[in-house]
Structure 1
């Protein structure tokens, strides 16, 4: 049986990862670049990269196809576009990018280090209203807060 990180590592054989500075460069060079944020809607509302598309990981596969309630037409039609998938830390985005490759997307990469790394590279984030997020506030937001029952038993 694999654990979560082993599952992610297994996908890395097929998935290309880029660093935050690479994403910044890709955005400058390719105005058609699509950023797909696979975090949950409340995470996205708190802060995200301006212009990114929120498609939660839980509905991604059906959002990539026609004829589903979750279908996102812009995403379905983007199979030949350059896409960078992002999440908080870069793990969910690897799994999502793997699914998208399996579904026929040609040019998909995952943002290594996720939005935490994007923030650490001092790149801007916005909230749902499009207001700039203070990066010190983002630092607090991205700090893990595990409850005791979430820790491995001793």
Structure 2
């Protein structure tokens, strides 16, 4: 049986990843670059890369097609554009980039290390009001906070 990380690993045979400094360079070189943030709306509202668009992972495929309630015309028309998919840590974005690749997007990559790595590289993030989020605030936000019931059970004996 495969687990989450196996699924990510398998998807990487078809998905290229770039590092935060590569994204910074790509943004400067290509003003038409589209950044697609596949986190949940509350995550995007807390902090995101300025000028990125939010398309939650759960509706991504229907957002890419006409005639759905979730259709995002900007995304439907971007099949030939350079797209960088981002998430918190770079896992959901790999799965999302793989889906985009499968449905015909031709120039899609995933941001390795996600927004956590973007913040570590000290690149700016903004909140839903466009206010810059302090690096330390983002560090705290991106630090995993697992509950006891989310941890793997300890093996007996």
The interval holding the TM-score normalised by the smaller chain is over 0.9
Deviations 1:61-118 (A, max 9, x none): 0001111000000000000000000000000000000000001001000000000000
Q: CA RMSD in A?
A: 0.3
- TM normalised by structure 2 equals 0.98
Aligned residue-pair number: 154
| Paired position in structure 2 for 1:50 | 50
CA distance in 1: counterparts of 2:49 and 2:14, whole angstroms: 25
Match runs of 1:99-114 below 5 Å: 99-114=99-114
Segments of structure 1 that go 5 or more residues without pairing to the other structure are none
| Paired position in structure 1 for 2:92 | 92
Match runs of 1:5-154 below 5 Å: 5-154=5-154
CA distance in 2: counterparts of 1:65 and 1:48, whole angstroms: 24
Segments of structure 2 that go 5 or more residues without pairing to the other structure are none
SS at structure 2 position matched to 1:124: coil
CA distance in 2: counterparts of 1:34 and 1:54, whole angstroms: 11
CA distance in 2: counterparts of 1:110 and 1:117, whole angstroms: 12
Runs of 4+ in 1 over 2 A off after TM superposition: none
CA distance in 2: counterparts of 1:72 and 1:42, whole angstroms: 19
